[in-house]
Structure 1
């Protein structure tokens, strides 16, 4: 591993965004699976907090329940920032048994707060070293890594004579005025990794100056990491700052987008899993953790991500940019975790007026 603007979204686009945001709010903190048949008496219900993409949830649930038949998984899904804030708010009485598909920087915060069970899953020695908790006591294990990209709509660009961006600074050009969307870092892990990367690579003074200039071109900050790419893919924006695998999925589905991994390097984050300390079913939760570290589990993660913990398992599709991993910056996850509250407070003070509000 390497480590308020004058532009606005067209009225139809804003309505579409608000509908999406409303749906996200309505579903973000709902526990999936409540409508399923009542499980057999011998099965134990484990609540798993996650920020995984919605389409990943059912396949992973089925696989977990096949590997550990005594368990029924009940998902609580939300964007990374929402899950992180909820978990920290519940620190005196945790409600989750498992954390599965949560940013490693969030798990570092939970580890520091004493919220994680110090458990080393079976088989972790086979995983790439970067994905293993380096600090005793061992408490979390990586699953996959995702990185920031630009979903660039070539049809919109052609109509407005916008040149393809190769560097992040290209997004502050006049052609992008009101035609950029990106995730809100307070709710989205993808949004936070982008902001943290700019501050690390440019330095804080220059990083904030860059974001001040970018803000002039941003139409809106959206609740999720996937949303900006969907907006660009649908032709409602020229550029959506998003995550690599959402970009690959949209392009594979026929969207007229280029996936731009800027030459000057991009931020990234690892998703990981952990067992929550002090919950009543630790033994079963640890068995799920053993499965989550397995080659079988990593093969499942690799259906959605190009970079996973188990070596040799990932098979990126033909539309995935081959140079993506090489352009990942030297990222300090500990720094990201320690400075999250400070950075988000400053970001919100500067740019919060353009955060898309749910109706």
Structure 2
């Protein structure tokens, strides 16, 4: 999703969320923070309502966009930061931001309950902390398949079959964290040469590339095409109320990324920013995330999303987030050169 497409939504969302806590007697400067996020817009109001119950005097200005757009915005503003907090951005993006000194150190309360695999270990005091992770799946509209007399794939490798020509939509990795997750995990699992050959072949079957990580799954559910590549939790949640949609956990193991929170590095760091980051990994917040996410980083919090294979955690590929961050620009540039003209 690009800025033009979400401008009206972003403005209305900002107005709605920034109204929180307006009744405080303290100055707005002291009790107001700006939060940049790529969490899906439909989930944010419920989370903010929970935060406001605990901290009604803190006003939150929420700026929401896709992973690529938020990352680019933070990099562009690094010499004059506008955000106070990053909430729910891809870890692979936050590693890039950290290399550019966009992030500040902060060890939020309750960090000892978070799986250590999803906490920054590069710095002596963490610069980011993970809350959940997601991986790529295929969503299939079974009714569309019956109409077109096409069977659903069982693997990403199946997607190069000629019967799927014009039947696939996936996220653009330049703007979507999910898109980059898919592309980078193919490269890591197949090797560079084989992965680009695979993407050349799948490109022949692609209907379009879109800027939102959730859009392919949503448009597949409504029958705009047979197949969408997207996020595990999004597909399973839509599947629950859309029986025509089937979530396919591929034969290949799953490439993944983590949603993380971070404090923005700036001259004046507000105490309220740290209060928000403490809340954002609290048991209350984690339970709220578990309604919409499949894998939660806090010990003892299990997902409420139904439909995952029992061995899902064992099938996550061994991933190098640093490699994803270091190679992001190169991979996206190559992908754009090859396929970018087909992106919407």
Map residues 88-237 of structure 1 onto 2, 5 A cutoff. 88-137=75-124, 138-237=126-225
1:240-260 C-alpha deviation (Å, 9 max, x unpaired): 001011101110112412111
Q: Is the 8 A contact 1:261 1:327 kept in 2?
A: no
SS in 1 for 2:103: coil
TM-score (norm 2): 0.93
Deviates more, 1:126-135 or 1:237-246: 126-135
Q: Is the 8 A contact 1:176 1:217 kept in 2?
A: yes
Q: Is the 8 A contact 1:145 1:307 kept in 2?
A: yes
Q: Does residue 345 in structure 1 map to residue 333 in structure 2?
A: yes
d(CA) in 1 for partners of 2:240 and 2:267? 42
SS in 2 for 1:336: helix
Q: Which residue of 1 aligns with 2:68?
A: 81
1:73-112 C-alpha deviation (Å, 9 max, x unpaired): 1110000000001111111101000000111111111111
In structure 2, list runs of 5 or more residues that go unmatched.
none
TM-score (norm 1): 0.89
Deviates more, 1:261-270 or 1:144-153: 261-270
Q: Is the 8 A contact 1:187 1:223 kept in 2?
A: yes
Q: Does residue 308 in structure 1 map to residue 296 in structure 2?
A: yes
Q: Is the 8 A contact 1:97 1:279 kept in 2?
A: no
d(CA) in 2 for partners of 1:63 and 1:294? 11
Q: Which residue of 2 aligns with 1:261?
A: 249
d(CA) in 1 for partners of 2:309 and 2:2? 29
Structure 1 residues 277 and 23: alpha-carbon distance in aligned structure 2, compared to 1, 3 A threshold: closer
Q: Which residue of 1 aligns with 2:5?
A: 24
Structure 1 residues 169 and 220: alpha-carbon distance in aligned structure 2, compared to 1, 3 A threshold: same
Q: Does residue 270 in structure 1 map to residue 258 in structure 2?
A: yes
Structure 1 residues 117 and 28: alpha-carbon distance in aligned structure 2, compared to 1, 3 A threshold: farther
1:201-227 C-alpha deviation (Å, 9 max, x unpaired): 000011100000000000000110110
d(CA) in 2 for partners of 1:324 and 1:290? 29
Deviates more, 1:195-204 or 1:295-304: 295-304
Among 15, 18, 38, the residue aligned to 1:34? 15
Kindly state the Cα deviation for residue 282 of structure 1 after the two structures are TM-superposed. Answer: 2.5
d(CA) in 2 for partners of 1:242 and 1:354? 18
d(CA) in 2 for partners of 1:202 and 1:127? 31
In structure 1, list runs of 5 or more residues that go unmatched.
1-19
Kindly state the Cα deviation for residue 140 of structure 1 after the two structures are TM-superposed. Answer: 0.6
Kindly state the Cα deviation for residue 159 of structure 1 after the two structures are TM-superposed. Answer: 1.9
Q: Is the 8 A contact 2:14 2:63 kept in 1?
A: no
Q: Is the 8 A contact 1:199 1:207 kept in 2?
A: yes
Q: Is the 8 A contact 2:24 2:57 kept in 1?
A: no
d(CA) in 2 for partners of 1:264 and 1:108? 26
Among 256, 278, 282, the residue aligned to 1:290? 278
d(CA) in 2 for partners of 1:205 and 1:177? 23
Q: Is the 8 A contact 1:251 1:319 kept in 2?
A: no
d(CA) in 2 for partners of 1:152 and 1:65? 38
Structure 1 residues 39 and 81: alpha-carbon distance in aligned structure 2, compared to 1, 3 A threshold: farther
Q: Is the 8 A contact 2:2 2:65 kept in 1?
A: no
Kindly state the Cα deviation for residue 134 of structure 1 after the two structures are TM-superposed. Answer: 1.4
Q: Is the 8 A contact 2:2 2:66 kept in 1?
A: no
1:16-39 C-alpha deviation (Å, 9 max, x unpaired): xxxx87973324754733253754
Q: Is the 8 A contact 1:28 1:78 kept in 2?
A: no
Q: Which residue of 2 aligns with 1:51?
A: 38
Q: Which residue of 2 aligns with 1:8?
A: none
The number of aligned residues is: 337
d(CA) in 2 for partners of 1:53 and 1:122? 25
